[in-house]
Amino acid sequence: MSQSVKFDNVNTLFSKALKQKINHYFNNSLKQKTGNRRIFLKAAILLTTFILLYILLVFVPLHWSIAVVLCLIFGANLAAIGFNIMHDAGHNSFSDNKRLNTVLSYTLNLLGGNIYFWKLKHNIAHHTYTNIDGEDHDIEIKFMRIHHDQKLKKHHRYQRFYFPLLYGISYLAWIFYQDYEKYFRGRMGNQTERFHFPVRERVIFWLSKIVHFTLFVVLPIIFVGWLPTLFGLLIAGVVCGMSLATVFQLAHVVSGTEFKTIEGARVEEEWMIHQIQSTANFATRSKILTWLLGGLNFQVEHHLFPKISHVHYPALNRIVKQTCKEYKLQYNEFRTFWAAFRSHIGVIHAMSK
């Protein structure tokens, strides 16, 4: 990751005021910043659902129509485990027990990814340099242009038509191709510096990939055959990929969020203000979406306080909004999921020409 891009660390009045208010909230409420009983219950529900769906799909003879429905639910369940368990654990906010956070963060490996790569790509690059081309690898999407500094190519004029396909295959491409690309290339992106990859993590990489391949490919082929396995994996993978990609895009690639051109390797704003300018919330009044997405519809609060569990985001939302109002900062929030989605399509269309 580049360490050359710097933020304004002198005029940080907004950051100091906001941090003070958030600390005051937790001190007064006597709440821990990590998860509570609700997140443990949710984790138990999601992991139990994962096990039950896997057993039904692999070991129980089912009519194809029932199997298709269960594969759709299974894909959503995979995404929900990522949103609710792995994500908080990967930020060390699931529990105050660091060992438990580490163990639960490896649920990503169970789902086919790699937590070591994820922390480099997400925790460091994305959360530090949000929406900065060349630094935030989450906006480097093959065959798409979503930042004005990215080179415009002929095929981009059609991206508003083919983006659902790319989002749909993103999860499968991630676990079956991109992780291996990073491993052998030794870089997060084509132009980035080589990263340190300890021997322990290399061993975990291969062991977890073998376990995942056995669970999701070998055993299903043995018990249900290769064709049902292929279709089942595609259905679950597309649902999971569409869910993951859409939630990320609605948080950063919508009207109102900024994509800055960095000159002189310096961002004029303090880091917290940059996060507010480059991030958006959506459908924060929907308790169902908040539960399923692990609070990632409160993306502004997550980017400002990634080490605070998502169970606290609705309360923090009010504090952050009020502080932004005091400092005359635009706070990006869409009332509904569909409003944010329409805005996202508008940005994709604008970046295609």
- Domain membership flag for residue 49: yes
Tell whether 292 is covered by a domain: yes
323, part of any domain? yes
CA within 13 Å, CB half, 71: 21
* Residue 258 in domain: yes
Show the tokens assigned to 284: 């924060």
The reported pLDDT for the residue numbered 265 is 76
The CA distances from residue 235 to 50, 157, 211, in Å, are 15, 28, 21
Measure the CA–CA gap between 80 and 88, rounded to whole angstroms: 12
Both tokens of 150, joined, read 């990215």
Inside any domain, residue 132: yes
Report how many domains make up the chain: 1
Residue 302 near residue 272 (C-beta atoms within 8 A): no
Asked whether residue 248 is domain-assigned, the answer is yes
Domain-embedded: residue 243: yes
Q: What is the pLDDT of residue 138?
A: 82
pLDDT at 5: 82
Q: Mean pLDDT for each 10-residue chunk of the chain (353 residues)?
A: 71 93 95 94 97 97 96 98 96 95 95 92 86 84 91 94 95 95 82 81 96 97 97 98 96 93 82 95 96 96 96 96 96 97 96 93
pTM of the model: 0.92
Residue 69 structural domain: 6-352
- Whether residue 1 lies inside any domain: the answer is no
Interatomic CA distance for residues 138 and 140, integer angstroms: 5
The per-residue pLDDT for 185 is 87
